[in-house]
A and B are shown apart, each in its own frame.
Chain A
Amino acid sequence: MALLLKRVAVVTLPLLVSGCVSADGGFEPQFGFDRVSQETTAKLGKETVWIQDRNASGHVRSRVRSLVQNKTISADTAVQVALLNNRGLQAAYAEVGIATSDLWQEGLGVNPRIGITASRLGVARTIEGVISANIVSLITRERRLDAAAAKVAEAQLGSVEKTLAVAAEARTAWIEAASAWEQVAYLNRAKASADAAAELASKLGGTGAMTKADQAREQVLYAELTGRTAEARLAARLAKERLVRVMGVYGQELDFEVPNTLPNLPRNVRTRNDIEAEALRNRVDLRLAKIELEALATSYGLTKATRYVSDLELGAGLEVEQEITENEDGSTSKKDVTSGIVELAFEIPIFDSGQARLRKAEFGYMRAANLLAEKAVNVRSEARSAYQAYRSSYDIARHYRSSVLPLRKLIEDEGLLTYNGMITNTFDLLTDTRERINSTTQSLNAKRAFWLAEAGLTSAIYGGGETPSGSGAMVADAGGDE
């Protein structure tokens, strides 16, 4: 983790609509941003810009340049540059700007501000998390239950997810690239051993001590390894290009390096027994979907939430209903949930549908509520999966490092001794070396799997992973229905 933690940084970004709308309703694009910039400078001695004009663009460009040019960048730097510089992200922010402008036209002011924190593990784990938390609280606070606000929310959703996704993608791409270069380095070592064997074989051929077939056997190994190394190098270059795209850099900014090695495994891993609760609390897509459900209810005219049920209860309730048809038991009893479950439960507002103007609206609402419940269930599972992957990949990577590699080392060391004793030959020695390198490569794969799982943990808790949210469509439907 050391590489990722080089810098304790709090970068406050003018995400989406900062300063677009002032509190008194005047449209001052730079207002919010100035505030952000001041805060950032005070905390970091660093500046950030929301790219709204040429000047700001130049600013970002030079800042990005100073972060990457002629440097070997850390994963945190990669994420930070991506957040600063990814044009797709800027486009998403602009979407929100447009929506907010519309909202402003409606005379409704919002003044959201987003802080990005890249800090030490354990304090505030990730940049991504803090962004999402802030956005969500902002949206919650500034919810406007009309079409313009829904559009804002939709755009906000898009930009939030985009932000998280970009951050996750940058981190993943960085891991893939560093890992790929590490693989290349080890394959090069394996190739060197095959190269030595091939050369020795051809020299033995020259003195008349080795058959053509045996020479060819050594040489084909070298040739194959050369192919594999070239493949690995290509993979590494492509991985770096993927990182370049996420970071949105080009031209002279391309002059940066990714480390040739992934950070070592941490000494231990965090135990996260509350991973489900944490995900339910923090998943941006889930919370936004909930807001949208409430917006949907409003659009159907269901104004008053009469109660809240958890996703657990909702699921149970559905089961009971199914049993009713078979067992003639019409009573639906509402069970109190224990505090432990409350901690774990995701509450879904149930609006009193008695006042529903349309039967259709009620069905529409229940459909959305169940989709939300499904999502909550999935989020729990994703959180558990991510944690399982994190824990197990750590154990696996450690196993390779502390069990497999020492054994390979021992084999190689003993191989050298038997070689010294004229008991085995140079080729045996080189084979042992190659096998150790193969095991090392497996160990590197395991290490990469761990760091990817570590990054996946963030996505599982905060969102922005590869799971599509799909709740945006819901809002659009609701809007159309109105």
Chain B
Amino acid sequence: MVSRRAFVGAGAALAGVAAWSKTSAMSLPDAPIMEDASTQPPLAPSAGPDYNPVVTPNGWTLPFRMNNGWKEFHLIAEPVEREMGEGMTAYLWGYNGQSPGPTIECVEGDKVRIFVTNRLPEHTTIHWHGMLLPCGMDGVGGLTQPHIKSGKTFVYEFVMQKSGTFMYHPHADEMLQMAMGMMGSFVVHPKDPTFMPVDRDFVFLLSAYDIDPGTYVPRVMEMTDFNMWTMNTRVFPNIDPLPIGLNERARVRVGNLTMTNHPIHMHGYDFSVTCTDGGWVRPEARWPEVTIDIPVGAMRAFEFDAHVPGDWALHCHKSHHTMNAMGHDVPTFIGVDKTSVAKKIRQLQPDYMPMGTKGMADMGEMSMPIPDNTIPMMTGWGQFGPLEMGGMFTVVKVREDLAKGDYSDPGEYEHPPGTVAYEWTGELPMAAKAPDAPVKTGSLEQKSATPAKASDHSGH
């Protein structure tokens, strides 16, 4: 799905020529554009040292070309339309057609040259987050370099000093440009291919947007109250799963560019953090975890051996972050009998549906019309029913019969017979009682949640 868009704009072309004349007589490298939000297959290195490429769920990897020993990439900062999920598109800023931008991959010791063309209406820069490089390549507009004005192309050149997991993002009008979705992953593989090898290597960025239901553009001034909590700018139920073959070793690299921390929890397995954006964690410094907190502006890579098949949820453990757009002012209707109220409201609003009296699960089952360009707060269906999830939620799918390098969705897990929780229809055991306890006729059903005395108190 990579397309090649011809350069437009004399300014950009001229700037490119000017920059290029210092280093080579050749033209700018191609700037491929991605038009699809689905997961693209990993991109095996076409030149230079070999490595096992990463997979970016709902993302892609930027191709490079070799030029006199330099790996050359071309990023285009531009407005993009990103499909966050089916039926919901966000108007963001990103790189090469998508937000997040393409993952850049290279190898420790590589000489890397990255062209950055600015097609945004305002200036930008790129900061290479977590990398040690010549200070003038650090990408802080005003501090370490002049801004890249609209229509201009700049070149970053540096040598990869260490391997690990990094990010790139603007450092010019940074608050706005990051709120608009400008970011990407940057993976540097070890020079020694036998160092920390894995069979499957995934990378994604956590980002958050405040897009009012029915609108398309994020409210960039928001600091806390976001409603789209995304993995690679994608929300459940449309985040592609992480397929892993049985007994494969897998690594998941997670970066956080939201404004809050995210406790990322994977079901089933325990795992160890083997890498941060600071570098590899020595084996003696690791400890087993099932949830790792990803701080703001940090990356964590965790590894595990996938030795138990199944559909294992992987999600942020802040429960609001596994929801899509919701109202924080909706009162709790649990236990409120809305029957008569609903009758009254229907006289004015015939399509009114009472909700939330038993809980909110009915929301997951009912598919009522909601505003345009909005994904329901809780949604998604599995083989046993509604998942009632959203936001930062995906599934690690460990399968026995998964071919090497096959990253397509293997579908729902076929549980071996007798291994799924089931309904008990027999007699319930008697509850243990103290010998002299008063006899009560018990009912399993919980009485109404309504505190019966509430109304009595009103007379006080």
Instruction: Give residues in A with beta carbon < 8 Å to B.
Output: 189, 192-193, 195-196, 199-200, 203-210, 412, 414, 416-430, 433
Residues B349 and A416 in contact, CB atoms below 8 Å apart: yes
In the complex, per-residue mask of B341-372: 1 if CB is within 8 Å of any chain A CB, else 0:
10011011101110110001001000011110
Residues B340 and A204 in contact, CB atoms below 8 Å apart: no
Determine how close the nearest CB of chain A comes to the CB of B277; give it in whole angstroms.
36
29 contacts between A and B (CB under 8 A): A189-B348, A192-B347, A199-B344, A200-B341, A203-B337, A204-B333, A204-B336, A205-B454, A206-B454, A207-B335, A209-B331, A209-B332, A412-B349, A417-B370, A417-B374, A418-B370, A420-B369, A421-B325, A421-B370, A423-B326, A423-B371, A423-B377, A425-B330, A425-B331, A426-B333, A427-B331, A430-B345, A430-B348, A433-B348
- Please give 8 more A-B residue pairs, beta carbons under 8 A apart, in addition to A196-B341, A199-B341: A193-B344, A203-B338, A207-B335, A420-B369, A421-B371, A422-B377, A423-B374, A430-B345
With contacts A414-B214, A426-B345 taken as known, whether A421 is within 8 angstroms of B374 at the C-beta atoms is yes
Residues B325 and A423 in contact, CB atoms below 8 Å apart: yes
B412 within 8 A of A: no
Residues of A within 8 A of B329 (CB): 424-425, 428
Determine how close the nearest CB of chain B comes to the CB of A199; give it in whole angstroms.
5
Determine how close the nearest CB of chain A comes to the CB of B341; give it in whole angstroms.
5
Residues B450 and A206 in contact, CB atoms below 8 Å apart: yes
Residues of A within 8 A of B213 (CB): 418, 421, 423
Determine how close the nearest CB of chain B comes to the CB of A240; give it in whole angstroms.
26
Determine how close the nearest CB of chain B comes to the CB of A402; give it in whole angstroms.
22
B442 within 8 A of A: no
Residues of B within 8 A of A193 (CB): 344-345, 348
Question: Chain A: which residue is nearest B366 at the CB level?
Answer: A420
B451 within 8 A of A: yes
Question: Which residues of B399-457 are within 8 A (CB) of A?
Answer: 449-451, 454-455
Question: Chain B: which residue is nearest A195 at the CB level?
Answer: B344
Residues of B within 8 A of A189 (CB): 347-348
The listed residue with most A CB atoms (<10 A of its CB), out of B325, B340, B349, is: B349
Q: Which of A209, A421, A424, A425 contacts B376 (CB 8 A)?
A: A421
B334 within 8 A of A: yes
Q: Which of A199, A200, A208 contacts B451 (CB 8 A)?
A: A208
B121 within 8 A of A: no
The listed residue with most B CB atoms (<10 A of its CB), out of A195, A204, A421, A428, is: A421
Determine how close the nearest CB of chain A comes to the CB of B271; give it in whole angstroms.
34
Question: Chain B: which residue is nearest A196 at the CB level?
Answer: B344
Residues B334 and A416 in contact, CB atoms below 8 Å apart: no
Residues A207 and B349 in contact, CB atoms below 8 Å apart: no
Q: Which of B331, B348, B371 contacts A418 (CB 8 A)?
A: B371
With contacts A429-B352, A430-B345 taken as known, whether A422 is within 8 angstroms of B363 at the C-beta atoms is yes
Q: Which of B347, B377, B449 contacts A421 (CB 8 A)?
A: B377
Question: Chain A: which residue is nearest B368 at the CB level?
Answer: A420
Residues of B within 8 A of A204 (CB): 331-333, 336
Residues of A within 8 A of B9 (CB): none
Residues of B within 8 A of A412 (CB): 349
B283 within 8 A of A: no
Residues A203 and B336 in contact, CB atoms below 8 Å apart: yes
Q: Which of A196, A422, A430 contacts B326 (CB 8 A)?
A: A422
Instruction: Give residues in B with beta carbon < 8 Å to A.
Output: 213-214, 325-327, 329-338, 340-341, 344-345, 347-349, 351-353, 355-356, 360, 363, 368-371, 374, 376-377, 449-451, 454-455
Residues of B within 8 A of A205 (CB): 454
Residues B338 and A207 in contact, CB atoms below 8 Å apart: no
Q: Which of A196, A199, A210, A429 contacts B331 (CB 8 A)?
A: A210
Residues B327 and A200 in contact, CB atoms below 8 Å apart: no
Residues A192 and B349 in contact, CB atoms below 8 Å apart: no
A268, B351: Cα distance in complex, Å? 35
Residues of A within 8 A of B214 (CB): 414, 417-418
With contacts A200-B338, A422-B377 taken as known, whether A206 is within 8 angstroms of B455 at the C-beta atoms is yes
Determine how close the nearest CB of chain B comes to the CB of A406; give it in whole angstroms.
17
Determine how close the nearest CB of chain A comes to the CB of B322; give it in whole angstroms.
14
Determine how close the nearest CB of chain B comes to the CB of A9; give it in whole angstroms.
40
A193, B371: Cα distance in complex, Å? 23
Question: Chain B: which residue is nearest A432 at the CB level?
Answer: B349
Residues of B within 8 A of A196 (CB): 341, 344-345, 348
A430, B335: Cα distance in complex, Å? 20
Residues B345 and A417 in contact, CB atoms below 8 Å apart: no
A414, B371: Cα distance in complex, Å? 7
Q: Which of A206, A207, A422, A424 contacts B360 (CB 8 A)?
A: A422
Determine how close the nearest CB of chain A comes to the CB of B342; give it in whole angstroms.
8
Determine how close the nearest CB of chain B comes to the CB of A461; give it in whole angstroms.
43
Determine how close the nearest CB of chain B comes to the CB of A270; give it in whole angstroms.
37
Determine how close the nearest CB of chain A comes to the CB of B297; give it in whole angstroms.
30
A88, B332: Cα distance in complex, Å? 65
A206, B347: Cα distance in complex, Å? 24
Residues of B within 8 A of A418 (CB): 213-214, 327, 370-371
A433, B346: Cα distance in complex, Å? 11
Question: Chain B: which residue is nearest A412 at the CB level?
Answer: B349
Determine how close the nearest CB of chain B comes to the CB of A411; give it in whole angstroms.
12
Residues B347 and A425 in contact, CB atoms below 8 Å apart: no
Residues of A within 8 A of B332 (CB): 204, 207, 209
Residues A422 and B454 in contact, CB atoms below 8 Å apart: no
A428, B332: Cα distance in complex, Å? 14
Residues of B within 8 A of A433 (CB): 348-349
Residues of A within 8 A of B347 (CB): 189, 192
Residues B327 and A207 in contact, CB atoms below 8 Å apart: no
A270, B325: Cα distance in complex, Å? 52
Question: Chain B: which residue is nearest A430 at the CB level?
Answer: B345
Residues of A within 8 A of B333 (CB): 204, 207, 209, 426
Residues A420 and B344 in contact, CB atoms below 8 Å apart: no
A91, B156: Cα distance in complex, Å? 104
Question: Chain A: which residue is nearest B450 at the CB level?
Answer: A207
Determine how close the nearest CB of chain A comes to the CB of B335; give it in whole angstroms.
4
The listed residue with most B CB atoms (<10 A of its CB), out of A208, A412, A416, A423, is: A423
Residues of A within 8 A of B374 (CB): 417, 421, 423
Residues of A within 8 A of B340 (CB): 199
Residues of A within 8 A of B449 (CB): 207
Question: Chain B: which residue is nearest A422 at the CB level?
Answer: B377
A210, B330: Cα distance in complex, Å? 11
Residues A208 and B454 in contact, CB atoms below 8 Å apart: yes
Question: Chain B: which residue is nearest A423 at the CB level?
Answer: B327
